Amino acid sequence: MEILVIYNKLKDPSGEYLKYLLDFLDKKNLNYVIDCNYNYKNIDKEIDYINKNNLYDLIITLGGDGTVMHGCKHALKYGCPIVGINTGTLGFLTQLDIKNIDFLDNFFLKNYKLENRSVIEVKINSKKYFAINDIVIARSDIIKLSDFDLYCNSKKVLSYRSDGLIVATPTGSTAYSLAAGGPIVDSSLKSLILTPISSHSLKSRPIIFNFDKKLKIVSRSFNKTKISIDGNIIKELTKDEFIDIKISNLTYKFVNFDDKNYLKIFNSL
């Protein structure tokens, strides 16, 4: 069995947790490769997800939710399952804490469930990108609000005057979308969650779209707006430029040991 370990040095500067994990893997005579050069803010903007070489049987991330997101991009690339070990704070996306690493035995004993999680496909000027968490279209100017038109299956839904718009996956519903007032959505669902950021309207509310819906967001602002995908700025939109958004046919596999849910995390706050 080949394992890819993605290790966030910022969450474990002494290497204590990494050593603990590697000792565990060594005792089981498992082969592993360590990616310790990970820096979330410097993730490649685009990965060839179609070229699945199946080099690994499992990806283990050691860090927080950002580390898991980075690992999910590799899970898409290699077509293998992923499990996150939390060394950060809340750990919405992680399955295990470093203290209960023995739970990993359940994977090797095949005592687990695989959860297929959805991915957003974004098309910008004929170029495709994929998002694990979210796409954010936000103002570049710190003073002025931005204007957007939202279309669903070619029909206009609403016009927005706001700081920006977030389109998230259910996995991403606990990230920026949640902070902006969006709902928490079960991660096993296939849907698009649209959340306005500081909208200047009483009727502007988050909207959950079914997986078969295709969205189009058009910038109507004279001031430029920036597009970021999973925290990486991709480009600026000028007036009347647009992006197309839909649920991709691609999914990635999340290891689930004990039906961990967000309510357990909230109850621990």
Catalytic residue among 26, 57, 65, 147: 65
Identity of residue 15:
G
Q: CA–CA separation, 13 vs 4, rounded Å?
A: 20
Residue 98 identity (one-letter amino acid): I
Known active-site residue 65: yes
CA distance 148 to 249: 27
Q: How far apart are CA 161 and CA 196, in angstroms?
A: 9
* Residues 6 or more apart in contact with residue 56 via CB below 8 angstroms: 2, 3, 4, 33, 74, 78, 80
Beta strands in 79-154 (DSSP E): 82-86, 96-97, 113-124, 127-131, 134-139, 146-152
What is the H or E stretch that residue 247 is in? strand 242-256
Q: What are phi and psi of 40, to 5 degrees?
A: -55, -35
Residues involved in catalysis: 65
